[in-house]
Structure 1
Protein backbone atom coordinates (compact mmCIF):
# COMPACT_ATOMS: atom_id res chain seq x y z
CA UNK A 1 0.00 0.00 0.00
CA UNK A 2 1.30 3.46 -0.89
CA UNK A 3 1.84 5.58 2.25
CA UNK A 4 -0.56 8.49 2.63
CA UNK A 5 1.35 11.76 3.00
CA UNK A 6 0.26 14.89 4.80
CA UNK A 7 -1.54 16.26 1.75
CA UNK A 8 -3.29 12.94 1.30
CA UNK A 9 -4.52 13.01 4.89
CA UNK A 10 -5.78 16.57 4.47
CA UNK A 11 -7.66 15.54 1.32
CA UNK A 12 -9.18 12.50 3.02
CA UNK A 13 -10.28 14.61 5.99
CA UNK A 14 -11.74 17.23 3.65
CA UNK A 15 -13.76 14.60 1.80
CA UNK A 16 -14.90 13.15 5.12
CA UNK A 17 -16.08 16.59 6.18
CA UNK A 18 -18.13 16.98 3.00
CA UNK A 19 -19.61 13.49 3.30
CA UNK A 20 -20.48 14.05 6.97
CA UNK A 21 -22.12 17.41 6.37
CA UNK A 22 -24.08 15.80 3.55
CA UNK A 23 -25.70 13.53 6.13
CA UNK A 24 -26.67 16.43 8.41
CA UNK A 25 -29.02 18.88 6.72
CA UNK A 26 -29.13 21.05 9.88
CA UNK A 27 -25.34 21.27 9.97
CA UNK A 28 -22.76 20.51 12.65
CA UNK A 29 -20.51 22.52 14.90
CA UNK A 30 -16.79 21.96 14.65
CA UNK A 31 -16.65 19.81 17.81
CA UNK A 32 -19.33 17.40 16.60
CA UNK A 33 -17.89 17.46 13.10
CA UNK A 34 -14.40 16.55 14.34
CA UNK A 35 -15.84 13.72 16.44
CA UNK A 36 -17.76 12.25 13.49
CA UNK A 37 -14.83 12.37 11.06
CA UNK A 38 -12.44 11.12 13.73
CA UNK A 39 -10.06 14.03 13.30
CA UNK A 40 -8.25 16.59 15.42
CA UNK A 41 -10.57 19.53 16.13
CA UNK A 42 -7.98 22.12 15.11
CA UNK A 43 -7.23 20.39 11.82
CA UNK A 44 -10.91 19.90 11.05
CA UNK A 45 -11.56 23.57 11.77
CA UNK A 46 -8.78 24.67 9.39
CA UNK A 47 -9.98 22.35 6.63
CA UNK A 48 -13.57 23.46 7.08
CA UNK A 49 -12.52 27.10 6.84
CA UNK A 50 -10.73 26.32 3.57
CA UNK A 51 -13.90 24.68 2.26
CA UNK A 52 -15.80 27.82 3.27
CA UNK A 53 -13.33 29.97 1.35
CA UNK A 54 -13.84 27.80 -1.74
CA UNK A 55 -17.61 28.11 -1.45
CA UNK A 56 -18.46 24.47 -0.70
CA UNK A 57 -19.31 24.98 2.97
CA UNK A 58 -20.84 27.88 4.90
CA UNK A 59 -21.12 28.68 8.61
CA UNK A 60 -24.18 30.16 10.25
CA UNK A 61 -23.19 33.30 12.12
CA UNK A 62 -25.56 32.58 15.02
CA UNK A 63 -25.51 28.80 15.49
CA UNK A 64 -21.88 28.47 14.25
CA UNK A 65 -22.94 25.27 12.49
CA UNK A 66 -21.42 24.31 9.17
CA UNK A 67 -23.58 23.21 6.23
CA UNK A 68 -23.00 22.39 2.58
CA UNK A 69 -23.74 25.08 -0.02
CA UNK A 70 -25.55 24.79 -3.35
CA UNK A 71 -22.15 24.74 -5.05
CA UNK A 72 -21.89 21.06 -4.13
CA UNK A 73 -25.24 20.42 -5.79
CA UNK A 74 -24.10 22.24 -8.92
CA UNK A 75 -20.87 20.24 -8.99
CA UNK A 76 -22.73 16.95 -8.61
CA UNK A 77 -25.25 17.99 -11.24
CA UNK A 78 -22.53 18.72 -13.78
CA UNK A 79 -20.90 15.36 -13.08
CA UNK A 80 -24.18 13.48 -13.42
CA UNK A 81 -25.07 15.26 -16.66
CA UNK A 82 -21.67 14.42 -18.13
CA UNK A 83 -22.03 10.78 -17.12
CA UNK A 84 -25.48 10.66 -18.70
CA UNK A 85 -24.78 12.70 -21.84
CA UNK A 86 -23.97 9.60 -23.87
CA UNK A 87 -27.26 7.90 -22.99
CA UNK A 88 -29.24 11.07 -23.69
CA UNK A 89 -27.41 11.72 -26.95
CA UNK A 90 -27.57 8.28 -28.58
CA UNK A 91 -31.24 8.44 -29.73
CA UNK A 92 -30.47 11.84 -31.26
CA UNK A 93 -27.32 10.43 -32.89
CA UNK A 94 -29.32 7.61 -34.45
CA UNK A 95 -31.87 10.01 -35.90
CA UNK A 96 -29.10 12.26 -37.18
CA UNK A 97 -27.33 9.33 -38.86
CA UNK A 98 -30.59 8.26 -40.50
CA UNK A 99 -31.29 11.82 -41.69
CA UNK A 100 -27.82 12.38 -43.13
CA UNK A 101 -26.96 8.86 -44.25
CA UNK A 102 -23.54 9.27 -42.65
CA UNK A 103 -21.66 8.13 -39.55
CA UNK A 104 -22.26 10.25 -36.45
CA UNK A 105 -20.13 10.48 -33.33
CA UNK A 106 -20.09 12.02 -29.85
CA UNK A 107 -17.00 13.34 -28.06
CA UNK A 108 -16.89 14.76 -24.53
CA UNK A 109 -14.58 17.42 -23.16
CA UNK A 110 -11.96 16.37 -20.64
CA UNK A 111 -9.23 18.25 -18.82
CA UNK A 112 -6.75 16.92 -21.36
CA UNK A 113 -8.89 17.88 -24.35
CA UNK A 114 -11.57 15.47 -25.49
CA UNK A 115 -12.39 11.83 -26.13
CA UNK A 116 -14.72 10.05 -28.55
CA UNK A 117 -17.28 8.05 -26.55
CA UNK A 118 -19.88 6.94 -29.09
CA UNK A 119 -20.38 6.34 -32.81
CA UNK A 120 -23.39 5.43 -34.92
CA UNK A 121 -22.24 4.04 -38.26
CA UNK A 122 -24.16 4.67 -41.45
CA UNK A 123 -26.34 1.71 -42.36
CA UNK A 124 -25.53 -0.41 -45.43
CA UNK A 125 -22.70 1.76 -46.75
CA UNK A 126 -19.00 2.33 -46.31
CA UNK A 127 -18.43 5.00 -43.68
CA UNK A 128 -15.72 6.89 -41.84
CA UNK A 129 -14.58 5.00 -38.74
CA UNK A 130 -14.07 6.86 -35.45
CA UNK A 131 -11.89 5.17 -32.83
CA UNK A 132 -13.76 5.20 -29.53
CA UNK A 133 -11.41 6.32 -26.77
CA UNK A 134 -9.20 8.34 -29.08
CA UNK A 135 -8.94 12.13 -28.89
CA UNK A 136 -9.98 14.59 -31.61
CA UNK A 137 -7.17 16.77 -32.93
CA UNK A 138 -8.14 20.28 -31.85
CA UNK A 139 -6.99 22.23 -34.91
CA UNK A 140 -7.55 19.58 -37.59
CA UNK A 141 -11.01 18.15 -36.85
CA UNK A 142 -14.47 19.68 -36.75
CA UNK A 143 -15.06 17.96 -33.41
CA UNK A 144 -11.89 19.38 -31.88
CA UNK A 145 -12.76 22.87 -33.08
CA UNK A 146 -16.32 22.52 -31.76
CA UNK A 147 -15.01 21.44 -28.34
CA UNK A 148 -12.62 24.41 -28.06
CA UNK A 149 -14.27 27.24 -30.01
CA UNK A 150 -15.60 28.77 -26.79
CA UNK A 151 -12.55 27.99 -24.64
CA UNK A 152 -10.48 30.62 -22.88
CA UNK A 153 -7.15 31.44 -24.54
CA UNK A 154 -5.19 29.72 -21.77
CA UNK A 155 -7.24 26.53 -22.17
CA UNK A 156 -6.77 26.56 -25.93
CA UNK A 157 -3.04 27.21 -25.52
CA UNK A 158 -2.76 24.14 -23.30
CA UNK A 159 -4.70 22.00 -25.79
CA UNK A 160 -2.35 23.13 -28.57
CA UNK A 161 0.78 22.58 -26.49
CA UNK A 162 2.21 20.24 -29.11
CA UNK A 163 1.79 22.84 -31.86
CA UNK A 164 -0.35 22.81 -34.98
CA UNK A 165 0.88 19.74 -36.82
CA UNK A 166 0.19 19.44 -40.54
CA UNK A 167 -1.77 16.31 -41.55
CA UNK A 168 -2.83 17.24 -45.09
CA UNK A 169 -2.25 20.18 -47.40
CA UNK A 170 -5.46 21.70 -45.99
CA UNK A 171 -4.50 21.50 -42.30
CA UNK A 172 -4.42 24.88 -40.57
CA UNK A 173 -0.98 25.46 -39.05
CA UNK A 174 -1.30 29.16 -38.19
CA UNK A 175 -2.73 30.19 -34.82
CA UNK A 176 -4.22 33.33 -36.38
CA UNK A 177 -5.99 31.26 -39.03
CA UNK A 178 -7.25 28.86 -36.35
CA UNK A 179 -8.57 31.77 -34.28
CA UNK A 180 -10.48 33.00 -37.33
CA UNK A 181 -11.96 29.52 -37.79
CA UNK A 182 -13.04 29.33 -34.16
CA UNK A 183 -14.69 32.74 -34.46
CA UNK A 184 -16.72 31.36 -37.39
CA UNK A 185 -17.70 28.35 -35.27
CA UNK A 186 -19.00 30.63 -32.53
CA UNK A 187 -20.91 32.71 -35.06
CA UNK A 188 -22.65 29.96 -37.05
CA UNK A 189 -22.83 27.30 -34.33
CA UNK A 190 -20.90 24.49 -36.02
CA UNK A 191 -17.37 23.62 -37.14
CA UNK A 192 -16.08 22.17 -40.40
CA UNK A 193 -13.19 19.83 -41.23
CA UNK A 194 -12.61 20.11 -44.96
CA UNK A 195 -10.06 17.34 -45.56
CA UNK A 196 -7.89 18.82 -42.80
CA UNK A 197 -7.08 15.58 -40.95
CA UNK A 198 -7.64 12.99 -43.66
CA UNK A 199 -7.74 13.58 -47.39
CA UNK A 200 -11.11 12.69 -48.95
CA UNK A 201 -12.99 13.08 -45.62
CA UNK A 202 -15.17 15.96 -44.50
CA UNK A 203 -16.80 16.44 -41.11
CA UNK A 204 -19.21 18.87 -39.47
CA UNK A 205 -19.57 19.15 -35.67
CA UNK A 206 -21.43 21.28 -33.15
CA UNK A 207 -20.84 21.76 -29.41
CA UNK A 208 -23.14 20.80 -26.54
CA UNK A 209 -23.43 23.18 -23.59
CA UNK A 210 -24.14 22.66 -19.90
CA UNK A 211 -26.15 24.87 -17.54
CA UNK A 212 -23.25 27.30 -17.25
CA UNK A 213 -23.04 27.67 -21.06
CA UNK A 214 -19.75 25.78 -21.00
CA UNK A 215 -18.95 23.27 -23.75
CA UNK A 216 -19.27 19.76 -22.38
CA UNK A 217 -19.31 17.65 -25.56
CA UNK A 218 -19.72 17.78 -29.34
CA UNK A 219 -21.69 15.89 -31.99
CA UNK A 220 -20.12 15.32 -35.40
CA UNK A 221 -21.03 13.88 -38.80
CA UNK A 222 -18.27 12.45 -41.02
CA UNK A 223 -18.22 11.10 -44.54
CA UNK A 224 -16.24 10.84 -47.77
CA UNK A 225 -16.05 13.92 -49.99
CA UNK A 226 -17.88 11.96 -52.70
CA UNK A 227 -21.01 12.08 -50.51
CA UNK A 228 -20.27 15.37 -48.71
CA UNK A 229 -19.46 18.01 -51.32
CA UNK A 230 -18.73 21.53 -50.10
CA UNK A 231 -22.21 22.59 -51.19
CA UNK A 232 -23.73 20.16 -48.65
CA UNK A 233 -21.83 21.50 -45.62
CA UNK A 234 -24.36 24.22 -44.66
CA UNK A 235 -27.22 21.69 -44.73
CA UNK A 236 -25.28 19.24 -42.55
CA UNK A 237 -24.21 22.08 -40.28
CA UNK A 238 -27.80 23.05 -39.54
CA UNK A 239 -28.77 19.42 -38.90
CA UNK A 240 -25.85 18.90 -36.53
CA UNK A 241 -26.49 22.17 -34.74
CA UNK A 242 -30.17 21.25 -34.27
CA UNK A 243 -29.13 17.86 -32.87
CA UNK A 244 -26.66 19.49 -30.48
CA UNK A 245 -29.32 21.97 -29.34
CA UNK A 246 -31.66 19.07 -28.61
CA UNK A 247 -29.12 17.26 -26.44
CA UNK A 248 -28.06 20.53 -24.81
CA UNK A 249 -31.68 21.10 -23.74
CA UNK A 250 -31.99 17.52 -22.46
CA UNK A 251 -29.02 17.98 -20.09
CA UNK A 252 -30.34 21.31 -18.83
CA UNK A 253 -27.84 23.34 -20.81
CA UNK A 254 -28.04 26.56 -22.77
CA UNK A 255 -26.28 27.76 -25.91
CA UNK A 256 -24.46 31.10 -25.49
CA UNK A 257 -24.83 33.99 -27.91
CA UNK A 258 -22.67 34.44 -30.99
CA UNK A 259 -20.18 36.67 -29.15
CA UNK A 260 -17.26 34.84 -27.56
CA UNK A 261 -18.02 33.64 -24.05
CA UNK A 262 -15.39 31.88 -22.00
CA UNK A 263 -16.31 28.33 -21.04
CA UNK A 264 -14.57 26.48 -18.26
CA UNK A 265 -13.12 22.98 -19.03
CA UNK A 266 -15.18 20.14 -17.44
CA UNK A 267 -13.67 17.62 -15.20
CA UNK A 268 -12.42 14.63 -16.99
Structure 2
Protein backbone atom coordinates (compact mmCIF):
# COMPACT_ATOMS: atom_id res chain seq x y z
CA UNK A 1 0.00 0.00 0.00
CA UNK A 2 1.35 3.42 -0.96
CA UNK A 3 1.37 6.04 1.76
CA UNK A 4 -0.76 9.10 1.07
CA UNK A 5 1.28 12.28 0.51
CA UNK A 6 1.63 14.59 3.48
CA UNK A 7 -0.58 17.58 2.71
CA UNK A 8 1.38 19.92 4.95
CA UNK A 9 4.66 19.11 3.23
CA UNK A 10 3.04 19.53 -0.19
CA UNK A 11 1.75 22.95 0.75
CA UNK A 12 5.08 24.05 2.18
CA UNK A 13 6.93 23.14 -1.01
CA UNK A 14 4.20 24.69 -3.16
CA UNK A 15 4.88 27.99 -1.39
CA UNK A 16 8.64 27.57 -1.84
CA UNK A 17 8.20 26.79 -5.56
CA UNK A 18 5.99 29.84 -6.00
CA UNK A 19 8.53 32.09 -4.28
CA UNK A 20 11.37 30.67 -6.40
CA UNK A 21 9.42 30.97 -9.64
CA UNK A 22 8.47 34.59 -9.09
CA UNK A 23 11.52 35.83 -7.20
CA UNK A 24 9.48 36.40 -4.06
CA UNK A 25 5.99 37.41 -3.06
CA UNK A 26 3.63 38.74 -0.42
CA UNK A 27 1.30 36.68 1.72
CA UNK A 28 -1.86 37.83 -0.05
CA UNK A 29 -0.33 37.22 -3.51
CA UNK A 30 0.75 33.72 -2.58
CA UNK A 31 -2.60 32.92 -1.02
CA UNK A 32 -4.41 34.01 -4.18
CA UNK A 33 -2.15 32.13 -6.59
CA UNK A 34 -2.10 28.95 -4.52
CA UNK A 35 -5.77 29.19 -3.49
CA UNK A 36 -4.95 28.92 0.21
CA UNK A 37 -6.24 30.95 3.15
CA UNK A 38 -4.04 33.94 3.97
CA UNK A 39 -3.66 32.72 7.55
CA UNK A 40 -2.42 29.32 6.34
CA UNK A 41 0.18 30.83 4.01
CA UNK A 42 1.33 33.16 6.78
CA UNK A 43 1.84 30.23 9.18
CA UNK A 44 3.90 28.30 6.62
CA UNK A 45 6.03 31.34 5.82
CA UNK A 46 6.69 31.99 9.48
CA UNK A 47 7.99 28.42 9.87
CA UNK A 48 10.09 28.65 6.68
CA UNK A 49 11.63 31.90 7.91
CA UNK A 50 12.42 30.28 11.27
CA UNK A 51 14.22 27.39 9.54
CA UNK A 52 16.26 29.78 7.37
CA UNK A 53 14.90 28.66 4.00
CA UNK A 54 12.88 31.83 3.47
CA UNK A 55 13.68 35.41 4.42
CA UNK A 56 11.39 38.40 4.93
CA UNK A 57 12.05 41.98 3.89
CA UNK A 58 9.16 44.19 4.89
CA UNK A 59 6.09 42.47 3.46
CA UNK A 60 8.04 40.56 0.82
CA UNK A 61 9.19 36.96 1.28
CA UNK A 62 12.00 35.29 -0.70
CA UNK A 63 13.83 31.97 -0.70
CA UNK A 64 17.36 31.99 0.71
CA UNK A 65 20.64 30.42 -0.36
CA UNK A 66 20.01 27.49 2.01
CA UNK A 67 18.58 25.62 -0.98
CA UNK A 68 21.80 26.30 -2.89
CA UNK A 69 23.73 24.83 0.04
CA UNK A 70 21.62 21.67 0.02
CA UNK A 71 21.98 21.22 -3.74
CA UNK A 72 25.71 21.93 -3.65
CA UNK A 73 26.28 19.26 -1.00
CA UNK A 74 24.24 16.72 -2.94
CA UNK A 75 26.06 17.46 -6.19
CA UNK A 76 29.47 16.91 -4.61
CA UNK A 77 28.37 13.49 -3.38
CA UNK A 78 27.55 12.29 -6.91
CA UNK A 79 30.26 10.12 -8.44
CA UNK A 80 29.70 11.43 -11.95
CA UNK A 81 30.27 15.02 -10.81
CA UNK A 82 33.63 13.98 -9.37
CA UNK A 83 34.45 11.87 -12.44
CA UNK A 84 33.82 14.61 -14.98
CA UNK A 85 36.69 16.60 -13.40
CA UNK A 86 38.11 18.94 -16.01
CA UNK A 87 36.27 17.48 -18.99
CA UNK A 88 33.60 20.18 -19.28
CA UNK A 89 36.16 22.95 -19.03
CA UNK A 90 38.34 21.19 -21.62
CA UNK A 91 35.60 20.66 -24.23
CA UNK A 92 34.19 24.15 -23.70
CA UNK A 93 37.63 25.67 -24.31
CA UNK A 94 38.33 23.37 -27.27
CA UNK A 95 35.07 24.09 -29.10
CA UNK A 96 34.33 27.57 -27.79
CA UNK A 97 30.77 26.49 -27.07
CA UNK A 98 28.47 25.90 -24.11
CA UNK A 99 29.14 22.62 -22.25
CA UNK A 100 26.91 20.91 -19.69
CA UNK A 101 26.76 17.71 -17.66
CA UNK A 102 23.26 16.34 -17.10
CA UNK A 103 21.77 13.42 -15.22
CA UNK A 104 18.34 11.80 -15.31
CA UNK A 105 16.17 12.29 -12.24
CA UNK A 106 12.46 11.56 -11.92
CA UNK A 107 12.05 11.21 -15.70
CA UNK A 108 13.67 14.58 -16.39
CA UNK A 109 17.07 15.76 -17.57
CA UNK A 110 18.75 17.84 -14.86
CA UNK A 111 21.78 20.09 -15.37
CA UNK A 112 24.53 19.23 -12.90
CA UNK A 113 27.39 21.44 -14.13
CA UNK A 114 27.97 24.18 -16.73
CA UNK A 115 31.06 25.56 -18.50
CA UNK A 116 31.06 28.31 -21.13
CA UNK A 117 33.66 28.49 -23.89
CA UNK A 118 34.93 31.83 -25.27
CA UNK A 119 32.27 31.94 -28.01
CA UNK A 120 29.40 30.52 -25.95
CA UNK A 121 25.98 32.13 -26.08
CA UNK A 122 24.43 32.75 -22.67
CA UNK A 123 21.64 30.18 -22.46
CA UNK A 124 20.68 30.93 -18.85
CA UNK A 125 21.55 27.33 -18.04
CA UNK A 126 22.28 26.66 -14.39
CA UNK A 127 22.80 23.64 -12.12
CA UNK A 128 19.43 22.24 -11.09
CA UNK A 129 17.56 23.34 -14.22
CA UNK A 130 15.17 20.61 -15.38
CA UNK A 131 13.73 19.76 -18.77
CA UNK A 132 11.78 16.89 -20.38
CA UNK A 133 14.04 14.14 -21.65
CA UNK A 134 12.57 14.04 -25.17
CA UNK A 135 13.15 17.72 -26.01
CA UNK A 136 16.92 17.87 -25.79
CA UNK A 137 20.02 16.04 -27.03
CA UNK A 138 21.31 14.94 -23.60
CA UNK A 139 17.85 13.67 -22.71
CA UNK A 140 17.72 11.61 -25.90
CA UNK A 141 21.26 10.36 -25.33
CA UNK A 142 20.12 9.06 -21.94
CA UNK A 143 16.79 7.72 -23.21
CA UNK A 144 18.63 5.68 -25.82
CA UNK A 145 20.37 3.75 -23.03
CA UNK A 146 17.49 3.32 -20.60
CA UNK A 147 15.53 0.04 -20.24
CA UNK A 148 13.05 -0.41 -23.11
CA UNK A 149 10.06 -0.78 -20.79
CA UNK A 150 10.80 2.54 -19.14
CA UNK A 151 11.36 4.31 -22.44
CA UNK A 152 8.03 3.02 -23.78
CA UNK A 153 6.28 4.20 -20.63
CA UNK A 154 7.72 7.69 -21.12
CA UNK A 155 6.87 7.79 -24.83
CA UNK A 156 3.29 6.82 -24.07
CA UNK A 157 2.98 9.73 -21.64
CA UNK A 158 2.39 13.42 -22.24
CA UNK A 159 5.15 14.56 -24.63
CA UNK A 160 5.10 18.34 -24.30
CA UNK A 161 6.23 20.67 -27.06
CA UNK A 162 8.74 23.37 -26.06
CA UNK A 163 9.42 24.91 -29.48
CA UNK A 164 7.96 24.45 -32.95
CA UNK A 165 10.78 21.97 -33.63
CA UNK A 166 10.14 19.71 -30.64
CA UNK A 167 9.51 16.11 -31.70
CA UNK A 168 6.48 14.69 -29.91
CA UNK A 169 5.61 11.79 -32.22
CA UNK A 170 6.57 8.54 -30.43
CA UNK A 171 7.52 6.76 -33.66
CA UNK A 172 9.87 9.56 -34.73
CA UNK A 173 11.42 9.57 -31.27
CA UNK A 174 11.97 5.82 -31.44
CA UNK A 175 13.78 6.32 -34.76
CA UNK A 176 15.92 9.06 -33.22
CA UNK A 177 16.85 6.88 -30.25
CA UNK A 178 17.89 4.06 -32.58
CA UNK A 179 20.06 6.55 -34.50
CA UNK A 180 21.67 7.63 -31.21
CA UNK A 181 22.60 4.03 -30.40
CA UNK A 182 24.11 3.55 -33.86
CA UNK A 183 25.91 6.90 -34.11
CA UNK A 184 27.02 7.23 -30.47
CA UNK A 185 25.62 10.70 -29.85
CA UNK A 186 22.31 12.61 -29.99
CA UNK A 187 21.41 15.87 -31.72
CA UNK A 188 18.58 18.32 -31.23
CA UNK A 189 17.98 21.12 -33.70
CA UNK A 190 16.11 23.92 -31.94
CA UNK A 191 13.88 21.45 -30.12
CA UNK A 192 14.40 23.05 -26.71
CA UNK A 193 15.88 26.44 -27.62
CA UNK A 194 14.99 27.97 -30.97
CA UNK A 195 18.02 28.59 -33.17
CA UNK A 196 20.35 26.39 -31.08
CA UNK A 197 21.82 23.00 -31.90
CA UNK A 198 22.90 20.63 -29.11
CA UNK A 199 25.00 17.49 -29.41
CA UNK A 200 25.30 15.04 -26.51
CA UNK A 201 26.86 11.68 -25.67
CA UNK A 202 25.78 9.35 -22.87
CA UNK A 203 28.10 8.53 -19.97
CA UNK A 204 28.04 4.83 -19.09
CA UNK A 205 30.07 3.10 -16.42
CA UNK A 206 32.08 -0.11 -16.83
CA UNK A 207 28.90 -2.12 -16.20
CA UNK A 208 27.05 -0.18 -18.95
CA UNK A 209 24.85 1.57 -16.42
CA UNK A 210 23.65 5.00 -17.51
CA UNK A 211 25.18 7.75 -15.39
CA UNK A 212 24.43 10.93 -17.34
CA UNK A 213 25.26 12.82 -20.53
CA UNK A 214 27.76 15.44 -21.69
CA UNK A 215 26.38 18.09 -24.03
CA UNK A 216 27.69 20.92 -26.21
CA UNK A 217 25.35 23.62 -27.58
CA UNK A 218 25.83 26.42 -30.09
CA UNK A 219 23.90 28.47 -32.66
CA UNK A 220 22.77 26.76 -35.88
CA UNK A 221 24.99 29.12 -37.88
CA UNK A 222 28.09 27.60 -36.25
CA UNK A 223 26.97 24.00 -35.78
CA UNK A 224 26.31 22.99 -39.38
CA UNK A 225 26.20 19.35 -40.49
CA UNK A 226 29.98 18.94 -40.80
CA UNK A 227 30.71 20.56 -37.44
CA UNK A 228 28.08 18.48 -35.68
CA UNK A 229 30.04 15.35 -36.52
CA UNK A 230 33.17 17.01 -35.13
CA UNK A 231 31.32 18.03 -31.96
CA UNK A 232 29.92 14.51 -31.71
CA UNK A 233 33.46 13.12 -31.57
CA UNK A 234 34.36 15.66 -28.88
CA UNK A 235 31.45 14.77 -26.59
CA UNK A 236 31.99 11.04 -27.14
CA UNK A 237 35.62 11.42 -26.14
CA UNK A 238 34.69 13.42 -23.05
CA UNK A 239 32.07 10.83 -22.09
CA UNK A 240 34.66 8.06 -22.50
CA UNK A 241 37.19 9.84 -20.26
CA UNK A 242 34.46 10.41 -17.68
CA UNK A 243 33.57 6.71 -17.85
CA UNK A 244 37.20 5.80 -17.14
CA UNK A 245 37.31 8.28 -14.26
CA UNK A 246 34.20 6.69 -12.76
CA UNK A 247 36.23 3.54 -12.16
CA UNK A 248 38.56 5.49 -9.88
CA UNK A 249 36.15 7.76 -8.00
TM (norm. structure 1) is: 0.60
Match 2:129 to one of 131, 134, 144? 134
Structure 1 regions of 5+ residues with no counterpart?
1-6, 9-80, 254-268
Cα deviation digits, residues 118-156 of structure 1 (max 9, x gap): 000123653333232122321110010011111123212
Displacement, 1:112? 3.5
SS at match of 2:212: strand
Flag the 1:161–1:177 CA change in 2: closer, same or farther, 3 A.
closer
Count the aligned residue pairs: 177
Displacement, 1:205? 0.4
- Where does residue 171 of structure 2 map in the other structure? 176
Structure 2 regions of 5+ residues with no counterpart?
4-75
- Where does residue 247 of structure 2 map in the other structure? 252
The answer (yes or no) to whether the contact 1:96–1:104 under 8 Å persists in 2 is yes
Cα deviation digits, residues 81-106 of structure 1 (max 9, x gap): 97121122130111100111001000
Cα deviation digits, residues 174-221 of structure 1 (max 9, x gap): 101000000011111100011111211110000001232021110000
TM (norm. structure 2) is: 0.64
Cα deviation digits, residues 218-246 of structure 1 (max 9, x gap): 00001112222233111100111111011
- Where does residue 197 of structure 1 map in the other structure? 192
The answer (yes or no) to whether the contact 2:92–2:98 under 8 Å persists in 1 is yes
The answer (yes or no) to whether the contact 2:96–2:119 under 8 Å persists in 1 is no
CA distance in 2, matches of 1:165, 1:108: 20
